[in-house]
């Protein structure tokens, strides 16, 4: 009587693949995989066939040919005689630069706005709501173009700017970009840089020690001031000790433009500005959600223990809301990076502008350029994800 | 479902190039569709622009109309696709358009490497510079250190780089996508110099409020033979495009105009005119067209000279002299092979 109602294991029927819950999910997954693979195969086959029909081959040799065009803003040495790969590298660095700058400023503005949005002051919170709803509901491309137009029309031409400098002889704001003194490096500057880096490492060590001390003894040190001191004092000493190897290069008026100094071009500023303003609205909403998700009881409990509001925020509320804030922030940073590809609209030569724009056009290698471009963006995005996920792990609620 | 993300992303990538399928019979495709698909520029006074009624007008546009008239008998049976310097080749290579008539320079690599066939030269041009008079610049050699607005994806950015390095000068490029943006940047003083083909400069200058405040510098730094082009691999279609253009040049040599074309076809004693206009011989049939294809085209848009004067000539705002683009009999370079 024991096993008579259970069918024997070996009596497998084909219909079980669909009817039996034990096999059904495998069946569905295998079918999905086959469909997905055949779509990929079809697309690859189609692309190969069409490239052949057009008489085009598929290779990346063009990357080593001279690019032949110049780029306005670059972080590494580049000339029109450099290869297309170098132009792509310049573009990549420009993409990373604007993405990094925009992520930082969007976070700062966003946190600020998000907190103010929760303010008890009716006017302030309404103003922030207007900003958020206004900015995040207008297409980014239009905002970039609008900011660019504002920058090139509002700021003076280089000729006028020379007559009305921000700081005489050092800082000029023109409609082609902002000029600030650049750094020049003479022999021995490595010492200063090394000392500066060592100081930064020292700050981390000091802060850890200060925290441990506080946990052990309950005494609190003025961490902020001491950190600042560690950062500046040794570097300044090293600077004078090694004979002032780092100098300043001031911009001077040329016939058409200002020469020398460090130029931050209007395309970069406009793009950075637009990306920051736009993305900050999303950050603000994420921050607001994160703070509101923390139960009011936590704050009240902290107050009851005698913590001041500022410490309540930084020690009780924020660490908990970070757990909620970080995952959506990751996708926000990814969006900023990808949105930076709108740069070409204002003539900022990012990766899309060089590899996916001029190089593609001058060489006619659409397939290679697009694949390379997408692979690069994928890699950047995955790297950002990885770093942010790592950080998320570190603030996550830990089971003890 | 996570697995599906990759195929979709790849799909989007491949679809762009996969559309192509450059079929051999462009003529059949066009006839079947009843429309010619022609890529023009997004807006350049004199060459291709939309008038106040939203109708495409211009020198490059009229060439498309002539081809449509020759092939389909109707100069209005054209779908125009506005393309930028960047998108034009992809549009043509992918088969999105049948012909590209967008002041495009004939170069070796576009011919051999990008696999296009140029149909002839509709306009002999060269790259020039436009600056504001107030800068006090008289020659391009004085432009060291200037900021230059350039349209990306064109031969101009390569010529510019060559010219400045050959003369040991430096410049700051401001790359822009369309002529309209270029003008806006130039007028806002975001750049000192605007460079493109001299015809384009004249066309842009014509649209400025104070055209007299701007000058085109005397230096012409490149050869820019502009012309229409098609994909490699369909010789019949290329021949049609080439001979519509040639027919219009021959018509000017022979004094055939839109107004007198019918009369010439009926009464001319000149054997070449009779062959051209289809009143003798079977010339059109060998292209797969009617024998009167040139007659229809000329009646639709006029001969080469009429087309030029209507859109670019000294009577228009663009105000370009014929110069190199006069027929060879007048000392210019426009010279069509014999129609026999």
Model confidence at A107: pLDDT above 50: yes
Residue A6 lies in a domain: no
In a domain, A318, yes or no: yes
Asked, for residue B117, whether it belongs to a domain, the answer is yes
- Asked if the model's pLDDT at residue B16 lies above 80, the reply is no
Tell me how far apart the alpha carbons of residues B321 and B331 are, in angstroms, rounded to a whole number: 13
Is the Cβ–Cβ distance between A48 and B18 less than 8 Å? no
Closest to B20 (Cβ–Cβ): which among A50, A71, A79?
A50
Residue A177 lies in a domain: no
Chain A nearest CA to B294, separation (Å): 30
Facing residue for B115 by CB, picked from A55, A70, A358: A55
What is the CATH classification number for the domain harbouring B134?
3.40.190.10
Q: How confident is the model at residue A8 (pLDDT cuts 50, 70, 90)?
A: low
A-chain residues within 8 Å CB-CB of B3? 32-33, 36
pLDDT digits (tens, 9 = 90+) for A237-260: 888 888 777 878 888 888 888 887
Query: Is pLDDT above 60 for A94?
Result: yes
Whether A69 contacts chain B with CB within 8 A? yes
Identify whether B187 is part of a domain.
yes
Per-residue pLDDT at B212? 87
Query: Hey, what are A75's tokens?
Result: 């972080």
Any idea what the CATH number is for the domain that residue A396 is in? 1.10.3720.10
Give contacts of B 232-271 with A, CB under 8 A: 232-233
Q: Please determine, for residue B243, whether its predicted confidence score (pLDDT) is greater than 70.
A: yes
Cβ atoms within 10 Å of A89's Cβ, excluding its own: 19
pLDDT at B319 exceeding the cut of 70 = yes
When mean pLDDT is compared over B62-71, B151-160, B282-291, the highest value belongs to B62-71
| CA torsion, ordered A112, A117, A123, A124, to nearest 10 deg | -10
Q: What letter would DSSP give residue B35?
A: S
Mean pLDDT of A126-142: 94
- Least trusted range by pLDDT, from A152-166, B9-23, B274-288: B9-23
Q: How confident is the prediction for chain B on average, in pLDDT? A: 88
Nearest CA in chain A to B111: A364
Whether B13 has a pLDDT exceeding 60, the answer reads no
More confident call, A243 vs B333: B333
What B48-51 contacts at long range (C-beta under 8 Å, 24+ apart), as own/partner pairs, is B48/B80, B48/B82, B48/B101, B48/B102
Domain assignment of residue B2, yes or no: no
Has residue B23 got a pLDDT over 60? no
For A349-392, write each residue's pLDDT tens digit: 999 989 988 888 888 888 889 999 999 999 999 999 898 888 88
Q: Would you say residue A311 has pLDDT above 90? A: no
| CB-nearest partner of B173 from A71, A81, A367 | A71
Query: Which residue stretches of A218-295 are H helix?
Result: 223-241, 266-292
Task: Check A53 against B20: CB less than 8 A apart.
Answer: yes
Q: Nearest CB to B93: which of A54, A79, A370?
A: A54
Q: What is the per-residue pLDDT for A7?
A: 53
Tell me the average pLDDT across B289-308.
94
Instruction: Report whether pLDDT(B12) > 60.
Output: no
pLDDT-based confidence at A399, cuts 50/70/90? low
> Domain ends where: B222, B243, B264?
B222
Are residues B147 and B93 located together in one domain of the fold? no
Per the structure, the complete domain to which residue B187 belongs is given by: 127-222
pLDDT given at position B17: 42
Asked if the Cβ–Cβ distance from B157 to A69 is below 8 Å, we say: yes
Identify the domain boundary among B170, B196, B222. B222
Q: In terms of domains, do B111 and B160 share one?
A: no
Predicted local distance difference test score (pLDDT) of residue A51: 79
Q: Which residue has the tokens 């190039």?
A: B17
The band of B3, judged by pLDDT with boundaries at 50, 70 and 90, is very low
Of the residues A38, A360, A364, the best mutation for testing chain B's interface (the one with the most B CB atoms within 10 Å of its CB) is A364
Backbone angles phi, psi at A167, to 5 degrees: -130, 120
Question: Percent of chain A, pLDDT > 90?
Answer: 37
In this predicted structure, what is the pLDDT of residue A365?
A: 84
SS3 A128: helix
B7 is a domain residue: no
Q: Touching check for B166 and chain A: CB below 8 Å?
A: no
Considering the domain boundaries, does residue A164 fall inside one?
no
In a domain, B237, yes or no: yes
Tell me, yes or no, whether B35 lies in a domain: yes
* Lowest-confidence segment of A224-228, B123-127, B292-296, B334-338 by average pLDDT: A224-228
Q: What are B37-95's pLDDT values in tens digits?
A: 999 998 888 899 999 999 999 999 999 999 999 999 999 999 999 998 878 988 998 88
**Residue B5 predicted with pLDDT over 70:** no
B246 contacts B336 by C-beta, under 8 angstroms: yes
**Min distance A374 CA to chain B CA atoms (Å):** 9
Residue A11 lies in a domain: no
pLDDT above 50 (res B19): no
**Does a structural domain hold residue B13?**
no
- Checking if the pLDDT of B196 tops 80, the result is yes
Q: What is the mean pLDDT of residues A104-124?
A: 91
Q: What integer pLDDT is reported at residue B1 of this predicted model?
A: 39
Q: Count the domains in chain A.
A: 1
- What is the pLDDT averaged over residues A296-325? 88
Same domain, B205 and B246: no
Examine the pLDDT at B314 and tell me if it is beyond 50. yes
Q: Please, where are the H alpha helices in chain B?
A: 5-18, 26-33, 59-72, 88-93, 108-112, 155-166, 179-187, 198-207, 235-253, 261-267, 271-276, 293-301, 304-311
Please state, as a whole number, how many other Cβ atoms lie within 10 Å of the Cβ of residue A37. 12
Domain count, chain B: 2
Domain that holds residue A341: 62-150+265-400
Indicate whether A273 pLDDT > 80.
Answer: yes
B4 close to A (CB below 8 A): yes
Query: Do B148 and B240 belong to one domain?
Result: no
CA B295 – CA B256 distance, rounded (Å): 9
Task: Mark yes or no for CB contact A366/B90 under 8 Å.
Answer: yes
Stronger pLDDT, B105 or A187, i.e. the higher one: B105
Q: Which of B190, B222, B254 is the last residue of a domain?
A: B222
- Region B269-298 average pLDDT: 92
């Amino acid at each position: 009587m024991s096993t008579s109602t259970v069918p024997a294991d070996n009596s497998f029927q084909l219909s079980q693949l669909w009817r039996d819950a034990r096999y059904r999910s495998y069946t569905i997954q295998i079918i999905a995989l086959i469909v997905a693979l055949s779509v990929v195969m079809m697309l690859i086959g189609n692309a190969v066939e069409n490239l052949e029909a057009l008489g085009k081959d598929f290779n990346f040799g063009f990357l080593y040919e001279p690019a032949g065009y110049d780029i306005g803003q670059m972080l590494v040495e580049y000339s029109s005689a450099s290869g297309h790969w170098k132009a792509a590298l310049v573009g990549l660095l420009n993409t990373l630069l604007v993405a990094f700058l925009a992520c930082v400023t969007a976070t700062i503005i966003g946190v600020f706005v998000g907190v103010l949005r929760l303010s008890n002051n009716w006017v302030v919170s309404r103003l922030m709501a207007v900003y958020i709803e206004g900015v995040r509901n207008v297409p980014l491309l239009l905002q970039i173009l609008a900011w660019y137009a504002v920058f090139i029309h509002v700021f003076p031409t280089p000729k006028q700017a020379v007559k009305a400098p921000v700081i005489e002889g050092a800082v000029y704001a023109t409609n082609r970009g902002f000029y600030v003194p650049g750094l020049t490096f003479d022999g021995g500057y490595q010492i200063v840089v090394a000392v500066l880096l060592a100081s930064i490492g020292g700050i981390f060590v000091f802060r850890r020690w200060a925290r441990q001390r506080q946990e052990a003894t309950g005494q609190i040190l003025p961490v902020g001031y001491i950190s600042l001191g560690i950062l500046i004092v040794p570097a300044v000493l090293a600077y004078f000790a090694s004979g002032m190897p780092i100098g300043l290069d001031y911009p001077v008026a040329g016939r058409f433009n200002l020469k020398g100094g460090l130029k931050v071009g209007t395309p970069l500023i406009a793009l950075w500005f637009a990306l920051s303003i736009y993305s900050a609205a999303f950050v603000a909403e994420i921050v607001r959600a994160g703070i509101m998700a923390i139960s009011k009881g936590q704050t009240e409990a902290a107050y009851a223990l005698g913590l001041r509001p500022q410490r309540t925020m930084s020690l009780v509320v924020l660490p908990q809301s970070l757990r909620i804030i970080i995952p959506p922030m990751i996708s926000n940073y990814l969006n900023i990076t990808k949105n930076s590809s709108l740069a070409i609209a204002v003539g900022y030569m990012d990766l899309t502008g060089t590899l996916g724009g001029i190089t593609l056009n001058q060489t006619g290698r659409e397939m290679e350029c697009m694949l390379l471009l997408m692979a690069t963006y994928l890699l950047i995005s995955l790297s950002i994800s990885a770093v942010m996920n790592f950080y998320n792990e570190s603030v996550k609620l830990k089971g003890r | 479902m996570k697995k599906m993300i990759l195929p979709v992303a790849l799909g989007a990538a491949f679809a762009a190039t996969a559309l192509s399928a450059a079929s051999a019979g462009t003529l059949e495709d066009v006839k079947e569709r009843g429309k010619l698909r022609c890529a023009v520029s997004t807006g350049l006074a004199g060459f291709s622009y939309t008038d106040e009624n939203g109708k495409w007008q211009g020198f490059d546009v009229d060439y498309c109309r002539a081809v449509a008239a020759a092939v389909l008998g109707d100069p209005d049976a054209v779908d125009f696709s506005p393309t930028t310097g960047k998108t034009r080749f992809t549009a043509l290579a992918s088969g999105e358009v049948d012909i590209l008539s967008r002041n495009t320079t004939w170069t070796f690599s576009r011919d051999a490497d990008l696999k296009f066939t140029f149909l002839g030269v509709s306009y002999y041009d060269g790259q020039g510079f436009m600056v504001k008079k107030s800068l006090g610049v008289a020659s391009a050699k004085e432009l060291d250190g200037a900021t230059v607005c350039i349209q990306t994806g064109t031969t101009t950015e390569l010529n510019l780089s060559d010219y400045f390095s050959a003369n040991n000068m430096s410049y700051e490029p401001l790359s822009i996508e369309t002529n309209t943006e270029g003008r806006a940047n130039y007028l806002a003083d975001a750049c000192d110099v605007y460079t493109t083909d001299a015809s384009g400069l004249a066309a842009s200058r014509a649209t400025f409020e104070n055209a007299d405040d701007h000058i085109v510098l005397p230096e012409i730094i490149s050869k820019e033979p502009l012309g229409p082009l098609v994909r490699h691999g369909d010789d019949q279609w290329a021949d049609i495009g080439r001979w519509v253009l040639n027919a219009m040049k021959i018509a000017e040599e022979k004094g055939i105009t839109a107004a007198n074309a019918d009369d010439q076809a009926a009464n001319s004693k000149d054997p070449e005119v009779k062959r051209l206009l289809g009143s003798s011989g079977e010339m059109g049939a060998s292209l797969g067209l009617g024998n009167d294809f040139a007659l229809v085209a000329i009646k639709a848009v006029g001969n080469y000279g009429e087309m030029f004067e209507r859109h670019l000539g000294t009577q228009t705002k663009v105000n370009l002299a014929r110069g190199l683009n006069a027929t060879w009999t007048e000392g210019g370079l426009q010279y069509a092979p014999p129609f026999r």
